[in-house]
């Protein structure tokens, strides 16, 4: 009966608290335990309601001054139209941003990519935040937010997408990251936005979902030479090259690059498709124009226009994110394409994505990467993608979901 249930709930709570207290200091999340995010101790507690964890507060109660930085450093709001500012951000990230576990590769986001990523419709310059050394003015840390409407089940929520958190290698583990996160949170609150979405390779309290990267070799010889992949068992280089060979040109009739006049049709197609996922962006035509209209060396989008009806029936897209190859005498850059949003209604998804691989190969990419989100699992193995070792965790800030989602229930790709 109710009493027995309540007692066992209490026992569970006590147990959770004991487990928490027994964790050594380095297993605890001193910062994240203070934040409105799903906490590890609440996992599986179905009594907690879905939705905001904390209510929003009146804007007048939001702290008006920036958080304090250690004395040697100062905040800078980054105007990325400014060429010199863009250079500084690019250089900080190129030298200090995300590396793989073995420190063989480091993301090398281009300046054009950063401008695209940071200036979607309605963006706020105040959410592009740097930290400089006061004396030398050297840029040593960075974090950004951009606004997005994200739907969680039936609710469309105004959120910030947080990305590009970076602290210079020489300033690590000094608790600068929590200050960066609190400051971006404050500036997001000042725009009357109270939720955020972000992804990270590390486990924090508490993932909404965990995805895996898959990789499709386009230039297997280079990938093996630089240590990105290994020759399979009982495989020779020439058999491997043959295995990954692709046709010279795409096969789907009506397959072509997306153009500006396609925005309304692509928006309809994508909106309908994304409505099938539990967490997905709520794109309007402006968003589609910004995020999906092709930009050289940044984002590529193709669609299928039916040769008979001229209807747009299918769509695929990928973004360009090279990695620096660290310490290889022969190669310094890995050219990678990342699957973005794909929709199939008339062309089988497998065939559509094979055409995407073909254009990526024509454009000289070395590898095509995809997460196991949306319906991607239906083509990964068949199109010869192999599982990567890195995981990507998705998080929401100040929004609880009742239980973790399957990666296939996610309709969101962050850059
Ligand atoms: S993910 C990409 C992150 N960047 C990199 O991996 C680049 C290379 N690494 C670095 O630059 C540094 O190692 C970073 C940490 C800056 C990551 N997300 O200063 P610290 C927690 C969130 O001593 P450092 C991306 O950009 C850590 O658990 N928290 O550590 C999305 C610990 O807290 P706790 C992280 O190594 C970012 C504390 O920081 C991450 O010098 C989303 C240690 O601080 C991480 N990736 O610096 C940010 N890594 O003790 C959250 C470590 O509690 C946004 N930590 O465990 C939240 C929403 C905000 C807006 C809300 C609006 C309403």
Name the one residue in this structure whose structure tokens are 């971006």.
184
Phi, psi of 211 (to 5 degrees): -115, 165
Mean pLDDT by 10 residues, the chain (415 residues): 41 47 65 97 92 97 98 97 97 98 97 98 98 98 99 98 99 98 98 98 98 98 97 96 98 98 98 98 98 98 97 98 97 98 98 98 98 98 96 98 97 98
Report which protein residue has its CA nearest ligand 1's atom 47.
Answer: 177
Q: How far is the CA of 135 from the centre of ligand 1 (A)?
A: 25
Name the one residue in this structure whose structure tokens are 């093996």.
224
Work out which ligand 1 atom sits closest to the CA atom of 31.
53
Work out which ligand 1 atom sits closest to the CA atom of 34.
53
Q: How far is the CA of 223 from the centre of ligand 1 (A)?
A: 30
Ligand 1 pocket test target in 167, 195, 201 with most atoms within 8 Å of CB: 167
Full-model pTM: 0.94
Name the one residue in this structure whose structure tokens are 């994508």.
270
Written as one string, the DSSP assignment of 310-327 is: --EEEEEEEEE--EEETT
Q: Are 406 and 278 in contact (CB under 8 A)?
A: no
d(CA 415, CA 399): 21
> Is the Cβ atom of 28 under 6 angstroms away from ligand 1?
no
Tens digit of each residue's pLDDT (9 = 90 or more) over 46-64 = 899 999 999 999 999 999 9
> Is the Cβ atom of 146 under 6 angstroms away from ligand 1?
no
> Is the Cβ atom of 415 under 6 angstroms away from ligand 1?
no
> Is the Cβ atom of 399 under 6 angstroms away from ligand 1?
no
> Is the Cβ atom of 98 under 6 angstroms away from ligand 1?
yes
Q: How far is the CA of 175 from the centre of ligand 1 (A)?
A: 9
d(CA 198, CA 354): 29
β-strand pairing of 155-167 with 195-200: parallel
> Is the Cβ atom of 144 under 6 angstroms away from ligand 1?
no
* pLDDT for the residue numbered 27: 67
Q: How far is the CA of 282 from the centre of ligand 1 (A)?
A: 27
Ligand 1 pocket test target in 163, 165, 397 with most atoms within 8 Å of CB: 165
* pLDDT for the residue numbered 2: 38
Report which protein residue has its CA nearest ligand 1's atom 46.
Answer: 200
Written as one string, the DSSP assignment of 282-300 is: ---HHHHHHHHS-BTTTEE
Tens digit of each residue's pLDDT (9 = 90 or more) over 364-413 = 999 999 999 999 999 999 999 999 998 999 999 999 999 999 999 999 99
Name the one residue in this structure whose structure tokens are 């940044």.
298
> Is the Cβ atom of 107 under 6 angstroms away from ligand 1?
no
The pair of three-digit structure tokens given for residue 156, joined into one six-digit string: 């469309």
Q: How far is the CA of 379 from the centre of ligand 1 (A)?
A: 33
* pLDDT for the residue numbered 112: 98
Q: Give me the active site residues, please.
A: 415
* pLDDT for the residue numbered 11: 47
Report which protein residue has its CA nearest ligand 1's atom 52.
Answer: 177
> Is the Cβ atom of 111 under 6 angstroms away from ligand 1?
no
Report which protein residue has its CA nearest ligand 1's atom 30.
Answer: 173
Work out which ligand 1 atom sits closest to the CA atom of 98.
7
> Is the omega angle on the peptide bond into residue 206 within 30 degrees of 0, that is, cis?
yes
Work out which ligand 1 atom sits closest to the CA atom of 204.
28
d(CA 340, CA 384): 18
Q: Which residues of 275-307 are buried (b: 16+ CB within 10 A; e: fewer)?
A: eebbbbbebeeebbbbbbbebeebbbbbbbbee
Q: How far is the CA of 165 from the centre of ligand 1 (A)?
A: 6
* pLDDT for the residue numbered 390: 86
Q: How far is the CA of 75 from the centre of ligand 1 (A)?
A: 17
The DSSP H or E segment spanning 139 is strand 139-152
């Amino acid at each position: 009966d109710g009493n027995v249930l309540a007692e066992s709930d209490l026992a569970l709570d006590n147990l959770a608290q004991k487990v928490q207290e027994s964790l050594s200091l380095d297993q605890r999340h001193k910062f994240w335990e203070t934040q409105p995010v799903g906490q590890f101790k609440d996992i599986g507690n179905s009594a907690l309601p879905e939705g905001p964890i904390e209510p929003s507060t009146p804007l007048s109660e939001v702290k008006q001054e920036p958080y304090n930085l250690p004395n040697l450093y100062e905040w800078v709001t980054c105007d990325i139209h400014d060429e010199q500012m863009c250079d500084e951000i690019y250089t900080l990230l190129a030298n200090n941003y995300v590396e793989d576990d073995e420190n063989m590769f480091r993301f090398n986001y281009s300046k054009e990519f950063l401008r695209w990523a940071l200036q979607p419709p309605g963006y706020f310059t105040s959410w592009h935040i740097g930290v400089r050394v006061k004396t030398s003015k050297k840029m040593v840390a960075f974090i950004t937010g951009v606004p997005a409407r994200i739907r969680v089940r039936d609710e469309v929520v105004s959120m910030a997408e947080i990305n590009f958190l970076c602290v210079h290698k020489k300033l690590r583990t000094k608790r600068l990251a929590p200050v960066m996160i609190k400051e971006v949170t404050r500036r997001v609150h000042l725009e009357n936005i109270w939720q955020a979405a972000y992804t990270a390779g590390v486990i924090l309290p508490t993932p909404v979902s965990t995805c895996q990267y898959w990789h499709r070799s386009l230039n297997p010889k280079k990938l093996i030479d630089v240590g990105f992949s290994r020759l399979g068992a009982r495989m020779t280089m020439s058999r491997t090259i043959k295995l990954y060979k692709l046709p010279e040109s795409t096969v789907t009739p009506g397959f072509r690059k997306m153009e500006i006049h396609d925005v309304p049709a692509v928006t309809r197609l994508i909106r309908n498709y994304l409505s099938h996922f539990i967490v997905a962006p709520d794109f309007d035509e402006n968003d589609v124009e910004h995020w999906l209209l092709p930009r050289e060396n940044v984002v590529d989008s193709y669609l299928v226009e039916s040769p008979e009806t001229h209807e747009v029936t299918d769509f695929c897209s990928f973004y360009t994110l090279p990695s620096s190859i660290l310490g290889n005498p022969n190669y310094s850059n890995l050219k990678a394409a990342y699957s973005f949003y794909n929709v199939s209604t008339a062309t089988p998804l497998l065939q559509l994505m094979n055409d995407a691989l073909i254009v990526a190969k024509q454009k000289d990419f070395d590898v095509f990467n995809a997460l196991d989100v949306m319906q991607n699992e239906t083509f990964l193995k068949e199109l010869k993608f192999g599982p990567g070792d890195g995981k990507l965790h998705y998080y929401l800030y100040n929004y609880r979901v009742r239980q973790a989602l399957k990666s296939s229930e996610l309709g969101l790709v962050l850059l």
